[in-house]
Amino acid sequence: MTASTGNHAVPPGSHDFAAVFAMLKPHMAALDVFMHAQLSAFEPEIRAMADYCIDTSGKRIRPALVFTSGWRGEVISPDLVRIAGVVELVHLASLVHDDIMDEAEVRRSRRTATREYGATAAVLLGDALFSHALNLATQFPTTEVCQEVSDSMRKVCAGEIIQTLRRGSTNISRADYDRIIDLKTAELFRVSCHLGGRFSGYSPEYVAAAGKFGRHLGIAYQIYDDLADFFGDEKRIGKTLGTDLASGKITLPLLALADRLPEVEQAGLIEEITGRRPPQPVLRIQQMNTLGVFAVVEAAVEQELRAAEAALASHGELPPVPLLLRLCEVLRHQVAGLRKGDDR
Amino acid sequence: MTASTGNHAVPPGSHDFAAVFAMLKPHMAALDVFMHAQLSAFEPEIRAMADYCIDTSGKRIRPALVFTSGWRGEVISPDLVRIAGVVELVHLASLVHDDIMDEAEVRRSRRTATREYGATAAVLLGDALFSHALNLATQFPTTEVCQEVSDSMRKVCAGEIIQTLRRGSTNISRADYDRIIDLKTAELFRVSCHLGGRFSGYSPEYVAAAGKFGRHLGIAYQIYDDLADFFGDEKRIGKTLGTDLASGKITLPLLALADRLPEVEQAGLIEEITGRRPPQPVLRIQQMNTLGVFAVVEAAVEQELRAAEAALASHGELPPVPLLLRLCEVLRHQVAGLRKGDDR
């Protein structure tokens, strides 16, 4: 497998999403111009607030998926830039609302919108960003983009609601976890890949395959993210380890730990999750190490990455495919890096 | 002026929106069926929550405007039912978010969604309702409905944000107030009338006129609502009088009072608005009575109602027009009723 596409070779030793996306630099620059041009669509009084949210420090993973799955070389398609803008706006709006709920003070080393403008304004600001994303989605000849994106938005919200309602509850199965991350994360990954392929004029077969790829990559990515909450580098991920445990959010590492803990020790973990006893992240990470939780979670990521790769198996000749496959490779190495402590 | 349309005569003595809308009973029944059919579009886990929000106790003013401005007699157009559903869902979603911000416990004699499910879930539930509204808007052959509605949604949010940011500030002019209510209320009234006329196949001239009518009616309605906060019947409007003063929200009655208070007494009012002194609604209502505030606000409503009526002047022969004009008459009487205490 090679990610080389003529002049846009990906550095073979790199295990960073950003490096894979290096060839997208002009596309991302076009996206930035596009995003900032959107500010004029907001009422003057809220423009500065919208600007604050459309910052450029994000990872822009979803736009990168749009551009990558619709890759046709250097050409920058205005349609793809607009789609990338739509999915990123939806994502940014959901972050604004997430931060209200988590009472988060800081995201990406700056104050959250809710901290900056108050929760009340942040609820409405997120709404305004959502509205504008869907308004942009209507700037296509048919209702297709708007339909896909509004459907995804509802699923993302539903996933978050289900997760929220389950906080502090220990009655969560692996199937529940799978469903939550499928809705809250994988869906927007899916729609990004689907629309990227679709609006680059690729065949319906490839478009469906790209969507499937995006979904499995999204699931893998969320599991990785949940693993990093226990095994990541605090400085690098920019938050304290074990926050999911502290907030009563059951993720795959915790599910796997609960499965493996001797029965006599389970009550203690349950009390931490339900908030009846202070969380002990250091102890729990130690136990995860002892009981082989990392390998279990890594295997779950691997399963999704293989499903993502398999989805593209019969489209290997298309320009986007080597790039998309490279993303799986990168994520695989990022997970392995957590185990080795490379990430620290 | 008569509101009679064959068998659907409006009781001439009635001064209640509901009575004007009596001929819309089958339309509203169709809307209820439609709204409940939407529940299946939500993920099973959040269906009960969505159902809770789609209650039938609301006034359904916006759907009524859709049906009225698109009136062609008894026929119930599926397009209009869907549009009515879209605007009502947007409105209900905005109420869910409003109630979070206001920390409201009760709306329409039942617990708010935020009280029932928690603020976190309510933020996301509002988002899911918004998303589904726009998804429904894509079920038309063109992007027109989605475009109009998403644009309106952003304006409604912008109006609410501006109002929120100004809470407790006394630096608000009449122009600021006009702009806030134009965005937060009149815009969705406008789009309801516009789309109602548009999807009943009326001429572009009438559609534009209906939109203009809706906008002015919306402004008049919001001023009436703000007046009722000081002069209404606590039992009937279902909340304590003077809540706007208590929350530092400057509305037209307060603006008019501030204008008329002797300079030496203004500092006290400012301290109440900015929260540095407990609000004294009873005193302020007394002063409003003494200083002729009611007449000033009533004149402002009247100006908007005349503008609404004027917008329809050259379309008097069309079936919807007598009904729309009747709405102005009803609102006029509702305002007069506040003065007389008829409303109590």
ipTM: 0.87
- Read off the pLDDT of each residue in B240-269 and give the average, rounded to a whole number: 91
Residue B344 has pLDDT above 50, yes or no: no
How much is the pLDDT for A239? 62
Q: What percentage of chain B reaches a pLDDT higher than 90?
A: 67
pLDDT grade for B100, boundaries at 50, 70 and 90: confident
Residues 83-112 of A with CB under 8 A from B: 94, 97, 100-101
pLDDT grade for B109, boundaries at 50, 70 and 90: low
Residues 266-325 of B with CB under 8 A from A: none
Yes or no: say if A187 and A162 are a contact pair by the CB < 8 Å rule.
no
How much is the pLDDT for B4? 39
> Which tens digits make up the pLDDT trace of A278-318?
999 999 999 999 999 999 999 999 999 999 999 999 999 99
How much is the pLDDT for B114? 78
CB contact under 8 A, B157 and A127: yes
Q: Which region among A48-57, A259-268, B290-299 has the lowest average model confidence (pLDDT)?
A: A48-57
pLDDT grade for A14, boundaries at 50, 70 and 90: low
Q: Which region among A255-269, B102-116, B174-188 has the lowest average model confidence (pLDDT)?
A: B102-116
Q: Which region among A97-106, A321-330, B115-124 has the lowest average model confidence (pLDDT)?
A: A97-106
d(CA A211, CA A201): 14
Q: What percentage of chain A reaches a pLDDT higher than 70?
A: 90
How much is the pLDDT for B135? 96
How much is the pLDDT for B330? 94
Global pTM value:
0.90
pLDDT grade for A2, boundaries at 50, 70 and 90: very low
Shortest distance, CA A6 to any CA of chain B (angstroms): 39
What residue ranges define each of the domains in chain A, with the CATH number in brackets? 12-340 (1.10.600.10)
d(CA B66, CA B59): 13
CB contact under 8 A, B157 and A124: yes
Q: Which region among A7-16, A52-61, A229-238 has the lowest average model confidence (pLDDT)?
A: A7-16
Highest mean pLDDT among A61-70, A167-176, B91-100, B262-271: A61-70
- Read off the pLDDT of each residue in B104-113 and give the average, rounded to a whole number: 72
Yes or no: say if A325 and A22 are a contact pair by the CB < 8 Å rule.
no
> Is B46 part of the contact surface with chain A (CB cutoff 8 Å)?
yes
How much is the pLDDT for A164? 87
> Which tens digits make up the pLDDT trace of B305-317?
999 999 999 999 9
Q: At B110, is the secondary structure helix, strand, or coil?
A: strand
Contacting residues of A for B147, CB less than 8 Å apart: 135, 138
CB contact under 8 A, B154 and A124: no
Yes or no: say if B237 and B271 are a contact pair by the CB < 8 Å rule.
no
Across the A:B interface, residue pairs with CB atoms under 8 Å apart total 157
Tell me the pLDDT of chain A averaged across its residues: 89
Residues 154-183 of B with CB under 8 A from A: 154-155, 157-158, 160-162, 164-165, 183
Identify the residue with better confidence: B9 or A56: A56
Return the number of other C-beta atoms located less than 10 Å from residue A274's C-beta. Answer: 13
Tell me the pLDDT of chain B averaged across its residues: 89
Shortest distance, CA B317 to any CA of chain A (angstroms): 35
Tell which of B150, B182, B191 to mutate to test the A interface (max A CBs under 10 Å): B150
Q: Which of A60, A85, A59, A114 is nearest to A238 (CA)?
A: A59
d(CA B177, CA B252): 7
Tell which of B89, B143, B160, B183 to mutate to test the A interface (max A CBs under 10 Å): B143
Which residue's entry shows tokens 């976890």?
A177
How much is the pLDDT for A113? 80
Instruction: Select from A41, A101, A150 the Cβ nearest to the Cβ of B138.
Output: A150
Burial of residue A155 (number of CB atoms within 10 Å: 0-12, 13-18, 19+): buried
CB contact under 8 A, B157 and A117: no
d(CA B116, CA B177): 32
How much is the pLDDT for A235? 62
> Which tens digits make up the pLDDT trace of A57-116?
678 999 999 999 999 988 899 999 999 999 999 999 998 888 887 666 677 667 778 777
Structure letter (DSSP) for residue A38: G
Shortest distance, CA B7 to any CA of chain A (angstroms): 39
Highest mean pLDDT among A11-25, A57-71, A94-108, A203-217: A203-217
> Is A41 part of the contact surface with chain B (CB cutoff 8 Å)?
yes
| Radius of gyration for chain A, computed over Cα atoms and rounded to the nearest angstrom | 20
How much is the pLDDT for B10? 47
Residue B193 has pLDDT above 80, yes or no: yes
pLDDT grade for A194, boundaries at 50, 70 and 90: very high
- Read off the pLDDT of each residue in B250-266 and give the average, rounded to a whole number: 94
How much is the pLDDT for A5? 41
